[in-house]
Structure 1
């Protein structure tokens, strides 16, 4: 293992995922070299080292999965209102994992400057924020399709998904950009604001949307509409609550607490990595549902998973064409 630098970087508040690994790995190594082979410092260093290696493997797997989804939805499968959101979510997850992967490589190889690591961390935060915003938009979109089905199929603006996705990317950029600018001028904890917003805004909206979907479709409806798209959304939201939300909660706790819970931050970072990796698996497994043992290509599985939305989009386009001709 390469000898980690002893440069003091603890004063730099990287904030986003893997930053805790970087700062505290250096800190642990510094303590070991200065105070001898202490058991606690050594165990912390080993824990962080294995966490980095595990995160590296997770990121690589997630990059492959999201890359396949981006290629198929972007170039091989016809777009629908819902798949536009999924495509943007896959891009956000891919970017998040890519820059987290670069962060881990910087940690393991001890290369790059503090400014370089800060830039990589900012891009990871930007993608992570976009992923949360898009997932929130997806949950609200599904609620609208369940609560107002006639409006959603007939009166919904045809380019609403594209406009909302573009707006969310801009908001994510402004949010992350303002954080790094304020930090440059000495404001402490600005990176944590994104995680605090995730705990205060994204989490309640996703919880409310999930409860509405569960009660409306599985409890209230006399004929449950348990389609594949709804199944995908509910499973995705569930994994977000299990894997990604703890990251927001942990960083929020560290911002307001006097003690820095480093190990909790690392667990939160690994959970966020898993959340970005699991979505492609959900799509392909749901697309494979009720297909027996037949071998199908990934394109067929993904197309089957979102087939309902493609049919609804075609019906809406035909309806709009009919109204225009009349």
Structure 2
């Protein structure tokens, strides 16, 4: 049974092997590791996979709590609609990484085998959720950027269901792109489509997120100087920074591997595993950010997550209203 995709975490490496074969470069296949003891690379993969699995458990609990509270226990506003959909995307990514981690560990041993189709299901689900989260965070960063640069216009001229429409559009576009990649790979119409997809994401999303992050950082800095705390704005800024430092490197790693197919198979596999670990951390950390930023440090009693989220997003609305009152007065 062929385990190429399983042994290398992803069919990304399988595609890279095809490129290397065209260039006359040989790679160590996963089956080669079955005839001897586990190599240091295999041990590193196992440790990283276990770390991903453990982090995913906490991330699933955290994102599940956020989804439950924002979706069923709190009144939604345009801002929390974005946060809810982002939590769903993060939850989906973690629920894809967990079985992938388990299968990755088990397939390092010769007495465990899985069908590549089973791995492909979770792999495509992972890329679907990963890309959706990236698009959602880009939309959130742009929305927050506009809200702080043009607060009056953002509040008065923004369509009432704009957030819902944007989120629905992002889910549809991400699904269609994932479906196209899957169909193209199944029928072998065009090779290496996932690389072009990720390259397009980097070209479109990275500049927008970087500019928005700089604008929000400037706004948060001056707010701290004026002793006006916008906790929700700070939470989004941290989420953007963590995405740029944790989640986006996975895209960079895959693109680098694509353009350097001569790199050893084992090294490439471990590097991709590290990228997935960073992405797992990013998908798990947002609920922790909401908790740390939204909690009342002076409160003597322990607060529930619902109270913390209510304070976090209610304060953001209050801050926006305070900003607009002076503008309206001057007019």
TM-score, scaled to structure 1: 0.83
Alignment correspondent of 1:246: 249
Alignment correspondent of 1:281: 288
Per the alignment, do residues 76 and 313 of structure 1 end up closer, same or farther by CA in structure 2, a change over 3 Å counting? farther
Q: How far 1:246 moved relative to its partner?
A: 0.7
Per the alignment, do residues 144 and 314 of structure 1 end up closer, same or farther by CA in structure 2, a change over 3 Å counting? closer
Per the alignment, do residues 44 and 222 of structure 1 end up closer, same or farther by CA in structure 2, a change over 3 Å counting? closer
Alignment correspondent of 1:320: none
Contact 2:9 2:269 in 1 (8 A): no
How many residues are aligned here? 299
In structure 1, C-alpha distance between the alignment counterparts of 2:312 and 2:98, rounded to whole Å: 29
**Aligned-residue CA RMSD (Å):** 2.8
In structure 2, C-alpha distance between the alignment counterparts of 1:246 and 1:75, rounded to whole Å: 34
Contact 2:128 2:175 in 1 (8 A): yes
Alignment correspondent of 1:69: 66
Alignment correspondent of 1:203: 206
Alignment correspondent of 1:171: 173
Contact 2:247 2:279 in 1 (8 A): yes
In structure 1, C-alpha distance between the alignment counterparts of 2:40 and 2:255, rounded to whole Å: 26
Unaligned runs of 5+ in 1: 21-26, 316-326
In structure 1, C-alpha distance between the alignment counterparts of 2:241 and 2:104, rounded to whole Å: 31
Select 1:213's aligned residue among 194, 207, 216: 216
Q: How far 1:56 moved relative to its partner?
A: 0.8
State which drifts further: 185-194 or 201-210.
185-194
Q: How far 1:160 moved relative to its partner?
A: 0.4
Residue 234 of structure 1 pairs with residue 241 of structure 2 = no
In structure 2, C-alpha distance between the alignment counterparts of 1:180 and 1:47, rounded to whole Å: 30
Contact 1:66 1:90 in 2 (8 A): yes
Residue 43 of structure 1 pairs with residue 40 of structure 2 = yes
Alignment correspondent of 1:147: 149
In structure 1, C-alpha distance between the alignment counterparts of 2:172 and 2:179, rounded to whole Å: 10
Which has the higher relative contact order, 1 or 2, with Cα contacts under 8 A spaced 6 or more apart? 2
Unaligned runs of 5+ in 2: 18-27, 107-111, 323-331
3-state DSSP of counterpart to 2:301: coil
In structure 2, C-alpha distance between the alignment counterparts of 1:127 and 1:284, rounded to whole Å: 23
Q: How far 1:263 moved relative to its partner?
A: 2.3
In structure 2, C-alpha distance between the alignment counterparts of 1:76 and 1:11, rounded to whole Å: 42
Per the alignment, do residues 114 and 297 of structure 1 end up closer, same or farther by CA in structure 2, a change over 3 Å counting? same
3-state DSSP of counterpart to 1:177: helix
State which drifts further: 124-133 or 208-217.
208-217
Task: Give per-residue Cα distances to partners, 1:254-287, cap 9 Å, x unaligned.
Answer: 1122234332211111000000000000011111
Select 1:53's aligned residue among 50, 65, 90: 50
Alignment correspondent of 1:78: 75
Contact 2:246 2:278 in 1 (8 A): yes
Residue 106 of structure 1 pairs with residue 109 of structure 2 = no
* Residues 264-275 of structure 1 aligned to structure 2 (within 5 Å): 264-275=271-282
Per the alignment, do residues 241 and 289 of structure 1 end up closer, same or farther by CA in structure 2, a change over 3 Å counting? farther
In structure 1, C-alpha distance between the alignment counterparts of 2:224 and 2:8, rounded to whole Å: 55
Per the alignment, do residues 289 and 257 of structure 1 end up closer, same or farther by CA in structure 2, a change over 3 Å counting? farther
Alignment correspondent of 1:182: 184
Contact 2:8 2:30 in 1 (8 A): no
State which drifts further: 161-170 or 50-59.
50-59
Select 1:115's aligned residue among 117, 138, 152: 117
Per the alignment, do residues 308 and 155 of structure 1 end up closer, same or farther by CA in structure 2, a change over 3 Å counting? farther
In structure 2, C-alpha distance between the alignment counterparts of 1:240 and 1:115, rounded to whole Å: 30
Select 1:160's aligned residue among 140, 162, 170: 162
3-state DSSP of counterpart to 2:11: coil
